[in-house]
Structure 1
Amino acid sequence: MRVPSPVPVQTSFGTMFDRPAVFLEVTDDHGNKGLGEVWCNFPSCGAEHRGRLLETVIFPALLGKRFDSPDSCFAQLEKQFARLAIQAGEPGPIAQCIAGVDVALWDMVARRVGVPLFRLLGGTNAYIPAYASGINPANAVKTVERCRAEGHRAFKLKIGFDRAGDLANIAQITAALERDEVFMVDANQAWTVDEALNTLPELAAFSLGWIEEPIMADRPIDEWLALALATSVPLAAGENMISAQDFARGISKPALDVIQPDLCKWGGISGVLPVAKDIMVAGKRYCPHYLGGGIGLAASAHVLAAVGGDGMLEIDSNDNPLRNILFAPPVTRGQLKLLETPGLGVADQFANLLASDIGKRETR
């Protein structure tokens, strides 16, 4: 599915002019169903490609097969398609398709036993902290004011554009923060190491919760360590890690304080749940990354509720019907509450989406 974005979403590496989503539904031989979502933000034409990957590559490997659990299916698919991912030069898209299937299987299992997913995963607290993300540099102060009125107490600004403009936005937002509010920034890999080292002292003058991806995510660990030693502000990354080995390295090194898996980009729930637990055991902060449709956001919320801790759920501040129709619980003083609906709790909303004008126009 794809809907226009009334306000383009800006990042340092490109602009989203529409909001794509790849949703999928699985059904077992008893008629139980589950919903999943595949990451497809950039470039937006990748949504159609991932849809074809599901139809022609991943689904044929699933149809008619029996698995003991979603975990066993995830492990089998990762093993089965490891060589193809290398051969095709597409480890990301293939991992994203597998992640979407995994989310759907977990939703199906939880719905089958009649419990919310977070409780099936061992969670006991339905309340989770959240923050408003994706705040564009244009009209940033007004966006923060709107998000505050919607119940948020934490905000994240996109930076990595014009340095003077970035600093002006940060100064205006931090000056207006209320006592219990938190503010973070996301550079989206905008800077070289030298540029980051020159910018970090200026950012440290503000009270920032974290600085996200100041340099390219795949830079050597010694460069990340150099940044960590150069600032007192916590560093965050993780949305571009796409293997258990990537996360093990990120968790074991002291450079990162906040680690942000995106469960629709890699791992689904089977891969990310143990990673989230490892993050917390290591004394770091698990804050799931997410900027897509409502199914993936719901799954991220359930995993966060399952593991607990002081992490926050990332909620895109930009309008997106493919999120809002499916999963948009009210935020009150920076927290939202998951309902006791079985699974991800989005089955009825998904039916409403399919019946809407958007669904009738976009479903294929």
Structure 2
Amino acid sequence: MTEITKVECWVLRAPVAKAVATSFGIMTSRPAVFLRVSAADGAWGWGEVFCNFPQVGAEHRARLVDSMFAPLLKGRPSDDAPRLRRELESQTRRVAIQCGEPGPFAQIISAIDQALWDMAGRRAGVPLWRLLAPDGGTAGNRVHLYASGLGPKDVAVNAARKRDEGYDAFKFKVGFGSDQDITNFAEIRAALGEDATIMVDANQAWEHGTAAARIAELAPYHPQWVEEPLAADEPAAAWQRLARDCGAPLAGGENLRGLDAFEQALAGGWFSFIQPDVAKWGGISECREVALLARRHGAVFCPHWLGGGIGLAASLQLRAAMGAEGFAEVDANPNPLREEVFPLAPQDGWVSLGDAPGLGVEPDLVRLKPYLTTY
């Protein structure tokens, strides 16, 4: 057993010229919390804490790491990520309830889990996609990407730009009113052609009484999937009714927590595409279990990601480990905390991950210094 000796956080915040809009809010900067776990044998690993919303959340999560999780981790074994993830969740469950913050706690534990898997890959000298593969490491290292975060304005123009950069699948934001949503879909479909793979993301915008009608308006443009049309905590009956009535495949999962929630959604059959986020809940350990659940239930595992480069690397490594089926999400909006940490150059929509051990990334903290903030 090799003990954990140190847990460190860096909070970064990159200004953006144009705010990133969703149906529920906007991001006026691009934040990230990068976390590094070090062990007594000199090994280390990186993880990333989800912190997009609220916009002040990055600093708060880093303070939680320093004040609560770093002391809990010191001296703990570093060589069993799934076990330590379960122990941390159990150990902090009641205080998470007490302070009303199960989400931030889950996000921090997820980053710790990523870091321990990165450490495991570095120790073994193998890329994480090989270490995680359920077939004994014979999975390929190729991942089919889609460009996401398009809209609500200039959707067709920006999709064409991403096509020129090597993407062949695209997702744009809806939930901004019927007229704008329909116009955007008509324009992007006309720009990319009838055979292009196009998804839409409502970000929980619609009520269960109107969602089917909103989806019906978009159905003539043939969405690959409609993502999060309802609030994630709507009852199972509402999701089942919508999946039955709407006439389009549904996707979701980034805002679910716990294997039971994913099991219910997959067994209930309302998601054709399941989208856990390695930095929101479960880290790599539990999102891998979700991917295996999806395989058993006939759904497609397409991990969600809209943050910096460390979490993107974790997301792509996990998708690659599960084989070539499905897509992985890459934000189309400018973000130096992604681009300068894990740059991608897709060809015909695909990217091949290298053989660097672990996550395959080592953030250059000197280069990122202009984005560092104090907390």
Tell me which interval the TM-score lies in, with the shorter structure as reference length.
over 0.9
The Cα offsets for residues 94-142 of structure 1, whole Å up to 9 and x where unpaired, read as 0000000000010011011111011111242011100000002111111
**How much has 1:178 moved relative to structure 2?**
3.5
Instruction: State which drifts further: 126-135 or 194-203.
Output: 194-203
Q: Which amino acid aligns with 1:70?
A: A
The alpha carbon displacement at 1:32 in A equals 0.5
| Cα pair 1:116 1:340 within 8 Å, conserved | yes
Runs of 5+ in structure 1 lacking a partner?
Answer: none
CA RMSD of aligned residues (A): 1.2
- Mapped contact 1:174–1:207 kept (Cα < 8 A): no
Show structure 1 runs of 4+ deviating over 3 A. none
- Correspondence for 1:239: 254
1:197-236 matched pairs, under 5 angstroms: 197-236=212-251
SS at match of 1:278: helix
Pairing of 1:99-110 with structure 2 (within 5 A): 99-110=110-121
1:34 paired residue number: 45
Aligned residue in 2 for 1:267? 282
Counterparts of 2:201 and 2:324, CA distance in 1? 22
Q: Which digits, 9 at most, give the CA deviation of each residue in 1:263-302, with x for residues without a partner?
A: 1000111111111111112100110000000000000000
Displacement of 1:363 in angstroms is 5.5
Report the counterpart of residue 115 of structure 1 in structure 2: 126
- One-letter amino acid of the structure 1 residue matched with residue 18 of structure 2: V
Identity of aligned residues (%): 46
Whole-angstrom CA distance in 1 between matches of 2:163 and 2:170: 9
Cα deviation, 1:150-196, whole Å, max 9, x if unaligned, reads 10110001010121011000011112324652001001011111221
Q: What are the within-5 Å matches in structure 2 for residues 1-364 of structure 1?
A: 1-122=12-133, 123=137, 124-178=139-193, 180-347=195-362, 350-351=363-364, 354-356=365-367, 358-360=368-370, 362=372, 364=374
TM-score, normalised via structure 2 length: 0.93
AA aligned opposite 1:37 = E
Contact 2:144 2:324 in 1 (8 A): no
CA positional deviation for 1:197: 2.2
**Aligned counterpart, 2:8:** none
The amino acid that maps onto 1:28 is: A
CA distance in 2, matches of 1:2, 1:176: 34
Unaligned runs of 5+ in 2: 1-11
CA distance in 2, matches of 1:162, 1:49: 34
What SS does structure 1 have at the residue aligned with 2:192? coil
Instruction: Give me the whole-angstrom Cα distance separating, in 1, the residues matched to 2:302 and 2:29.
Output: 25
Partners of 1:319 and 1:145 lie apart in 2 by 15
**Can you list the C-alpha shifts for 1:233-287, whole angstroms capped at 9, x where unaligned?**
1001100001111111111111111110001000111111111111112100110
- Give the SS at the match of 2:148: strand
Secondary structure of the 2:71 match is helix
Whole-angstrom distance in 2 between the partners of 1:37 and 1:361: 15
Q: Deviations over 1:40-85 (max 9, x none)?
A: 0011101011001110111111011225511111111011111111
For residue 210 of structure 2, give the secondary structure of its aligned residue in structure 1: helix
What is the one-letter code of the residue matched to 2:181? D
TM-score normalized with structure 1 length? 0.96
- The answer as to whether partners of 2:142 and 2:324 remain within 8 angstroms in 1 is no
Give how far 1:147 is off.
0.5
